[in-house]
């Protein structure tokens, strides 16, 4: 027995009631496309399609609400279209549809496109069968897509048919994917929309079809746009509802147009926040930090942290700063101990390179560290600390590598020494505190860099200025405020033996701990105003000496006390008169001769009187001289060393004058003694001529004989 198979051909078309009514019930080959589209209910006689085994055209099943599957094509074995430009089988947007019923299908010559509402609408077995039967590409898409992180592969997977998606993340795109336009078909996001950290995303026009963001999880924020380079918020005109919070952080506030801002605020039921990564610089205070956005990570002008005695609230907000497009200045702070509050700082880019880009100066008890993440400093760097050890060596090396300009590390404290050209050459120009003695001695000419000393404010040691011919005053120490000598054995300020020197230039001095010794050529070299000022600031004794010769009227300044004005005592030296010289005149009248014993006694008495007169004269001269010498000294609280030296000079001078006086006295005494003996010799001669014997002389010299 033989079986015969009848081949019946019929034309393709749009499947509806009219088409099915005309379709031969024995037709098993359709020549042309078979299209089932827009049916809200299955037409009559749809079971006639079950006899079709081959379609010489395309099979299109599209936008039907009644076709739940393809079981009415249960015998279909082959689809062979003549137009290869379109899918051989196209199943799209059928409501409540599941891809079943093509169990007999064996060959599809071309591509397949299946778009269902969700991925579960295409069983895996059916998918495998279709893929195996297709000679081209089989594509399966869903109108409701799962969460996606946008890249080339994800966009290819969702295609242009996805209308609803879970979380949509567009992050870190350095280049826009080729199929980014596929996102324009998305109408609803059942999750969060995140657009962050992109350099290629300039706006959101590729989401032009988006109408709703519905975040069922409630995770905040529902709509987040943050850190996109050169981004402007545009392209969401179709968006009608945001369920949850919207957070928009752009580089600049103006990157969100005002009309867009109002639109987002009006449709967000959880509120909308707008912030900028870029914010203005300024002086860091509590008020500045209060208005600083927590999202700000880029300062667009100078950031100045200066004069802080107490730490402002929310200083840790600065830890989010990554870029400063200006200068960073940290100076004169008492509470800033390091830069750890700028731990994320990576770049300081100063367009004005005339001033240091990074300037850190005069912060108390400060250690330079905390910006270990720094990558670039455009300009110069200046760091001035109290001590050189306040800048760790690793930080010096790091800043040197990262700075494209000049780097300077200086310290306010530097060692003392003898002021010479070499010393001044090594002296840091930012140094303002000398540790140890500063000695300015035997300078025949002022060194070229002497002006560097104008920055010195404190000397923790002694200041010695001695034996200089070129130093005329101390104007190069005009900024000096304090001399603090830890060892008070020697004068804290010692100025002596400088030629043509005036004690000027220390007007700023406010404290001298220790003693002061000033020795000048003339008393006028130290003005009364300077003396008064030094007395008011010195904790120890003050000595003023001069090499000027004493005058008749001399002022002796006593040692002052810190709280009482020193008394001034005037001592007027009296002129010393010569002791009266007594002349012994003998009478020409004859005197009775006296005995030899009486004459000897008289001669002895006269000699003693003359010698005594000479000695008294010498003592008066000595006292007057010593007194005059002490009157000439303008002393106040002379130190032991200077007093001993001065006393030695005075003793030598006094002894010289005494010896000279004794010689003069002896000469005077010799004169009178010689005269006396000459006169006695004359009287003896007269008595011999008159014949009066010596034996008849009687009585004393005061009572001559009557006949005389």
Q: Where does the pLDDT of residue 550 fall: very low under 50, low under 70, confident under 90, or very high at 90 and above?
A: low
Q: Report d(CA 528, CA 506) in Å as an integer.
A: 14
43: CB partners within 8 A, 6+ apart:
15, 16, 17, 20
For residue 530, name the pLDDT band (cuts at 50, 70, 90).
Answer: very high
pLDDT over threshold 70, residue 570: no
Grouping H, G, I as helix, E, B as strand and the rest as coil, residue 189 is: strand
Which residues, in sequence order, are bridge partners of residue 513? 484
Q: CA angle at residue 606 from 600 to 612, to 5 degrees?
A: 135
Say if CB 462 and CB 491 are below 8 A apart. yes
How far apart CA 672 and CA 668 sit, in angstroms, is: 7
* Cα atoms in the 13 Å half-sphere on the side-chain side of 361: 14
Query: Which residues, 6+ apart, have CB-to-CB distance to 108 below 8 Å?
Result: 78, 79, 88, 89, 130, 133, 134, 135, 136
Average pLDDT, the chain: 84
**Alpha-carbon gap, residue 449 to 630, rounded angstroms:** 43
**Which pLDDT does position 39 carry in this prediction?**
87
- CB count within 10 Å of CB 528 equals 8
CA distance 302 to 356: 11
CA–CA separation, 546 vs 165, rounded Å? 100
Whole-Å CA distances, 172 to 115, 195, 323? 30, 9, 19
The rounded distance, in Å, linking the Cα atoms of 439 and 420 is 9
Mind giving me the DSSP string for 595-660?
-HHHHHHHHHHHHHHHHHHHHHHHHHHHHHHHHHHHHT---SS--HHHHHHHHHHHHHHHHHHHHH
Can you tell me the distance from the alpha carbon of 189 to that of 167, in angstroms, rounded to the nearest whole number?
7
pLDDT class of 391 with cuts at 50, 70, 90? very high
Tokens of 201: 């995303």
Q: Does pLDDT of 596 surpass 70?
A: no
pLDDT at residue 492 in the model = 95
Confidence of residue 495 (pLDDT cuts 50, 70, 90): very high
The boundaries of every CATH 3.80.20.20 domain in the chain are: 9-142, 148-276, 279-411, 414-548
d(CA 21, CA 419): 121
As a whole number of angstroms, the distance between CA 498 and CA 522 comes to 11
545 SS3 class: strand
Q: Percentage of the chain with pLDDT > 70?
A: 81
CA 199 to chain centre: 33
Question: What tokens appear for 483 in the block?
Answer: 């001399």
What is the DSSP-derived secondary structure letter of residue 423?
H
pLDDT at 5: 52
Considering only CA atoms, which of 187, 184, 185, 154 is closest in space to residue 169? 154
- Residues 412 and 362 sit within 8 Å (Cβ to Cβ): yes
pLDDT at 680: 74
Could you tell me if 414 and 435 are in contact, meaning their C-beta atoms sit under 8 angstroms apart? yes
- Which residues are CB-contacts of 100 (< 8 A; sequence separation ≥ 6)? 69, 70, 71, 123, 126
**Gyration radius of the chain's alpha carbons:** 60
The predicted pLDDT at position 8 comes to 86
Query: Are the C-beta atoms of residues 231 and 203 closer than 8 Å to each other?
Result: yes
So what's the pLDDT on residue 646? 63
For the segment(s) 148-276, the CATH number from 3.10.20.30, 3.80.20.20, 3.10.270.10, 3.20.20.70 is: 3.80.20.20
CATH fold group of domain 414-548? 24 nucleotide stem-loop, u2 snrnp hairpin iv. U2 a'; Chain A (3.80.20)
Residue-wise pLDDT tens digits, 405-437: 999 999 999 999 999 999 999 999 899 999 999
**What is the Cα 327 distance to its own chain's centre?**
10
pLDDT range class, residue 644, cuts 50, 70, 90 = low
> CA 302 → CA 307, 346, 351, 666, 671, distances in Å?
16, 15, 10, 93, 99
CATH superfamily of domain region 279-411: Receptor L-domain (3.80.20.20)
When pLDDT is cut at 50, 70 and 90, the band that residue 645 belongs to is: low
Homologous superfamily of 9-142 in CATH?
Receptor L-domain (3.80.20.20)
Tokens of 123: 């069983």
Q: How many CB atoms lie within 10 A of CB 521?
A: 15
CB 198 within 8 A of CB 230: no
pLDDT at 158: 85
* 640 has pLDDT over 60: no
Q: In terms of Cα–Cα distance, which of 556, 558, 551 is closest to 573?
A: 551
Name the H helices within 206-362: 258-267, 286-291
Q: What is the pLDDT of residue 318?
A: 95
Measured CA to CA, the distance from residue 370 to residue 149 in angstroms comes to 36
Query: How far is the CA of 152 from the CAs of 22, 299, 456, 585, in angstroms?
Result: 48, 35, 68, 148
Helix axes of 596-631 and 640-690: crossing angle, nearest 10 degrees? 160
583: pLDDT confidence band, cut at 50, 70 and 90?
A: very low
């Amino acid at each position: 027995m033989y079986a015969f198979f009848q081949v019946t051909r019929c034309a393709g078309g749009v499947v509806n009631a009219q088409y099915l009514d005309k379709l031969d019930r024995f037709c098993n080959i359709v020549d042309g496309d078979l299209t089932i589209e827009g049916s809200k209910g299955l037409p009559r006689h749809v079971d006639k399609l079950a006899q079709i085994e081959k379609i010489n055209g395309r099979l299109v099943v599209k936008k039907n609400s009644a076709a739940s599957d393809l079981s009415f094509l249960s015998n279909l074995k082959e689809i062979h279209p003549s137009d290869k430009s379109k899918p051989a089988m196209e199943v799209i947007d059928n409501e409540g549809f599941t891809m079943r019923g093509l169990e007999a299908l064996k060959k599809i010559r071309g591509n397949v496109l299946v778009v269902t509402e969700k991925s579960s609408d295409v069983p895996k077995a059916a998918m495998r069968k279709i893929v195996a039967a297709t000679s081209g590409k089989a594509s399966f898409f869903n109108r409701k897509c799962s969460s996606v992180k946008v890249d080339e592969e994800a966009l290819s997977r969702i295609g242009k048919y996805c209308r609803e998606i879970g979380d949509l993340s567009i992050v870190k795109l350095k280049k826009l994917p080729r199929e980014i336009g596929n996102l324009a078909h998305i109408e609803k996001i059942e999750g969060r929309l995140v657009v962050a950290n992109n350099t290629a995303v300039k706006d959101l026009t590729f989401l032009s079809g988006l109408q709703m963001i519905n975040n069922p999880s409630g995770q905040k924020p529902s709509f987040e746009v943050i850190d996109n380079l050169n981004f402007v918020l545009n392209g969401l005109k179709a968006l009608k509802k945001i369920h949850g919070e919207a957070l928009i952080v752009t580089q600049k506030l103006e990157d969100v147009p005002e009309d867009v801002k109002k639109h987002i605020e009006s449709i967000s039921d959880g509120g909308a926040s707008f912030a900028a990564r870029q914010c203005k610089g300024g002086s860091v205070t509590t008020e500045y930090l209060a208005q600083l956005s927590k999202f700000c990570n880029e300062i667009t002008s100078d950031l100045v942290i200066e004069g802080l005695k107490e730490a402002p609230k929310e200083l840790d907000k600065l830890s989010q700063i990554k870029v400063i497009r200006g200068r960073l200045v940290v100076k004169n702070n008492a509470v800033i101990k390091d830069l750890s509050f700028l731990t994320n700082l990576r770049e300081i880019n100063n367009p004005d390179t005339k001033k240091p880009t990074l300037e850190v100066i005069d912060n108390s008890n400060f250690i330079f560290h905390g910006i270990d993440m720094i990558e670039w400093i455009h300009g110069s760097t200046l760091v001035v600390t109290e001590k050189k050890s306040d800048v760790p060596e690793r930080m010096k090396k790091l800043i040197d590598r990262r700075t494209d300009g000049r780097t300077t590390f200086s310290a306010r404290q530097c060692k003392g020494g003898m002021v010479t050209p070499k010393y001044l050459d090594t002296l840091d120009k930012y140094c303002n505190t000398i540790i140890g003695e500063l000695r300015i001695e035997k300078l025949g000419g002022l060194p070229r860099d002497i002006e560097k000393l104008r920055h010195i404010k404190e000397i923790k040691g002694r200041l010695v200025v001695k034996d200089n011919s070129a130093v005329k005053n101390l104007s190069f120490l005009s900024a000096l405020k304090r001399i603090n000598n830890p060892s008070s054995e020697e004068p804290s300020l010692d100025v002596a033996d400088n030629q043509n020197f005036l004690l000027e230039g220390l007007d700023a001095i406010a404290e001298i701990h220790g003693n002061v010794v000033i020795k000048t050529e003339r008393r006028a070299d130290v003005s009364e105003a300077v003396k008064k000022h030094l007395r008011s600031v010195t904790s120890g004794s003050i000595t003023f000496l001069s090499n000027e010769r004493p005058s008749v009227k001399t002022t002796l300044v006593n040692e002052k006390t810190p709280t009482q004005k020193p008394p001034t005592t005037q001592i007027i030296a009296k002129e010393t008169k010569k002791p009266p010289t007594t002349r012994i005149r003998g009478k020409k009248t004859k005197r009775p001769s006296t005995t030899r014993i009486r004459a000897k006694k008289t001669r002895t008495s006269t000699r003693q009187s003359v010698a005594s007169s000479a000695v008294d004269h010498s003592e008066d001269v000595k006292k007057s001289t010593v007194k005059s010498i002490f009157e000439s000294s303008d002393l106040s609280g002379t130190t032991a060393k200077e007093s001993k030296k001065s006393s030695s000079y005075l003793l030598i001078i006094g002894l010289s004058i005494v010896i000279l006086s004794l010689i003069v006295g002896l000469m005077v005494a010799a004169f009178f003694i010689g005269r006396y003996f000459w006169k006695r010799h004359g009287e003896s001669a007269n008595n011999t001529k008159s014949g009066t014997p010596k034996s008849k002389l009687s009585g004393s010299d005061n009572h001559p004989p009557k006949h005389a």
